[in-house]
């Protein structure tokens, strides 16, 4: 009986891991395009929020100053969001520096203290957008930990105009450095792709599946205003996704593309950053739903953890030595299928194929993140991010309504 079950399970797991396509391939990969002529280049405002980004600021700004887009047709607005690590001083020095730190239309802004109900990034981008002239046609939001290739701005504008898009965002190439990043990121990406069907992300009829990466997001100025600007998504932890959905539900064309050839990102400075980032995303992805976390746990257990336990089970279920060897040989198929798939995907994320053997560790960490995100949301524990503490929005809204009702009564 166990042998028959082993054969069936082996076939299912091998089929799933070896013959299902890589989800990332479903996003169109954008390639660099030449810059438009000055006469045909629309005006663009690049907005870069920075809070305690001294580690990334120099590289980010170098990349923005190196864009091949006509310099007179784009302005760069850097918004300091109350930095305390020297970022503000660095930005202040830009005004007196020359050479690589020069741009004809560079502005440095400083946000006021964070207002209740806002996330820091949304307030910074809203503050910066208010300084943009009405004649500017496009806004490009770029995170400070994202580094654009010289043709990125030109390619985004050309693509958006050619396809009559209102929002176009890129999924940058993730630069993975630490051991934990290389262990956790591939598994979390795999699980995200199972949860978010990328074939539906660019389907105009699916408002609920609109998705955007805030690391590099181009939006038409008039559409941005029509959707309510960042003020309308001021409390969302993933403001880019919320903005994309507001645009799509109003009939605007929203697209996301694979931007590995146009932008790189270096998100995390250490394990603490990695953990906090995934907890924040987990709260948004699972939305406090026990069912979603339970289904995630079941899927990861059956598809990614059990295959590595299967050979051990085979050894302990058979009494005959001949049967043990046969069952064990069959039971090696599932873990080898998982490892083979991970090795195929290693090139996509830019890591050694040997990290495929750390798959169970990555799965375990992903499950801990999922459950801790759920518990944090249920207990209304604040999220620490960029030196600030945020109360998860679902419970913040519930608490606000409760206090308002108590005040009325």
Angle at alpha carbon of residue 58, lines to 57 and 63, rounded to 5°: 100
List the beta bridge partners of residue 50: 80
Task: Count the alpha carbons within 13 Å of 404 in the hemisphere toward its beta carbon.
Answer: 6
Residue 99 has pLDDT above 80, yes or no: no
pLDDT at 50: 94
Instruction: Please give the share of the chain, as a percent, with pLDDT higher than 70.
Output: 82
For the segment 127-153, the average pLDDT, to the nearest whole number, is 95
pTM for this entry: 0.82
pLDDT at 1: 59
Query: Alpha helix locations (H) across 205-256?
Result: 221-226, 239-249
* Contact yes or no for 274/280 (Cβ under 8 A): no
Q: Which residue has the tokens 């955007």?
A: 212
The pLDDT-based confidence of 226 (bands split at 50, 70, 90) is very high
Output DSSP code: residue 36: P
- Choose between 97 and 77: higher pLDDT: 77
Angle at alpha carbon of residue 196, lines to 193 and 197, rounded to 5°: 90
Q: How far is CA 213 from CA 15, 118, 132, 174, in A?
A: 31, 19, 22, 12
For the segment 174-185, the average pLDDT, to the nearest whole number, is 91
Q: Strands 167-171, 254-258: parallel, antiparallel or unpaired by DSSP?
A: parallel
Residue 308 has pLDDT above 90, yes or no: no
- Choose between 403 and 299: higher pLDDT: 299
Beta strands in 209-305 (DSSP E): 216-220, 254-258, 263-265
Backbone angles phi, psi at 388, to 5 degrees: -125, 160
* Contact yes or no for 149/262 (Cβ under 8 A): yes
For the segment 168-182, the average pLDDT, to the nearest whole number, is 92
Q: How far is CA 49 from CA 7, 62, 325, 388, in A?
A: 54, 15, 60, 15
Q: Which residue has the tokens 């499950």?
A: 367
pLDDT at 295: 86
Angle at alpha carbon of residue 211, lines to 31 and 42, rounded to 5°: 50
pLDDT at 104: 67
- Choose between 312 and 362: higher pLDDT: 362
pLDDT at 315: 67
Residue 21 has pLDDT above 70, yes or no: no
For the segment 137-147, the average pLDDT, to the nearest whole number, is 96
pLDDT at 241: 92
pLDDT at 215: 94
CA 119 to chain centre: 17
Residue 13 has pLDDT above 90, yes or no: no
Q: How far is CA 236 from CA 2, 122, 341, 392, 401, in A?
A: 49, 8, 35, 9, 17
pLDDT at 101: 55
- Which tens digits make up the pLDDT trace of 321-366? 666 666 667 677 788 888 888 888 888 888 888 999 999 999 999 8
> If you average pLDDT over every residue of the chain, what do you get?
83
Residue 55 has pLDDT above 80, yes or no: yes
Residue 398 has pLDDT above 90, yes or no: no
pLDDT at 141: 98
* Contact yes or no for 35/5 (Cβ under 8 A): no
Percent helix, percent strand, percent coil in the chain, to nearest 5: 55, 15, 30
For the segment 2-12, the average pLDDT, to the nearest whole number, is 68
The pLDDT-based confidence of 111 (bands split at 50, 70, 90) is very high
Residue 272 has pLDDT above 90, yes or no: no
């Amino acid at each position: 009986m166990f042998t028959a079950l082993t054969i069936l399970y082996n076939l299912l797991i091998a089929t799933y891991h070896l013959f299902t396509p890589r989800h990332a391939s479903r996003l169109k990969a954008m390639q660099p395009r030449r810059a438009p002529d000055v006469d045909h280049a629309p005006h663009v405002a690049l907005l870069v929020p920075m809070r305690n980004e001294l580690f990334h600021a120099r590289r980010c700004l170098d990349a923005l100053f190196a864009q091949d887009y006509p310099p007179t047709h784009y302005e760069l607005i850097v918004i300091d969001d109350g930095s305390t690590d020297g970022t503000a001083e660095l930005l202040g020095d830009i005004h007196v520096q020359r050479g690589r730190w020069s741009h004809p239309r560079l502005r440095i802004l400083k946000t006021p203290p964070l207002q209740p109900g806002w996330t820091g990034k949304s307030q910074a981008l809203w503050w910066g957008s208010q300084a943009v002239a009405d004649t500017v046609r496009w806004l490009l939001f770029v995170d400070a930990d994202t580094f654009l290739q010289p043709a990125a701005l030109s390619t985004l504008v050309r693509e958006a105009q050619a396809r009559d898009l209102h929002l176009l965002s890129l999924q940058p190439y993730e630069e993975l450095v630490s051991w934990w990043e290389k262990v956790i990121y591939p598994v979390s990406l795999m699980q995200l792709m199972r949860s978010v069907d990328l074939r539906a992300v660019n389907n105009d009829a699916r408002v609920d599946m609109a998705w955007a990466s805030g690391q590099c997001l181009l939006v038409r100025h008039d559409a941005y205003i029509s959707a309510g600007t960042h003020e309308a998504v001021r409390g969302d932890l993933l403001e880019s996704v919320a903005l994309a959905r507001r645009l799509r539900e109003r009939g605007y064309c929203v697209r996301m593309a694979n931007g590995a050839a146009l932008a790189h990102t270096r998100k995390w400075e250490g394990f603490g950053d990695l953990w906090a980032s995934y907890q924040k995303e987990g709260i948004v992805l699972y939305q406090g739903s026990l069912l979603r976390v339970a289904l995630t746990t079941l899927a990861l257990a059956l598809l990614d953890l059990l295959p590595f336990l299967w050979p051990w089970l085979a050894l302990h279920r058979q009494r005959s030595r001949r049967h043990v060897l046969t069952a064990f040989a069959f039971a090696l198929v599932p873990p080898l299928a998982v490892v083979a798939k991970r090795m195929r995907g290693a090139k996509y994320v830019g890591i050694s194929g040997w990290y495929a053997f750390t798959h169970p560790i990555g799965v375990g960490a992903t499950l801990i993140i999922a459950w801790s995100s759920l518990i944090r949301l249920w207990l209304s524990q604040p999220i620490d991010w960029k030196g600030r503490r945020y109360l998860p929005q679902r419970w913040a809204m519930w608490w606000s309504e409760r206090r308002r009702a108590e005040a009325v009564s």
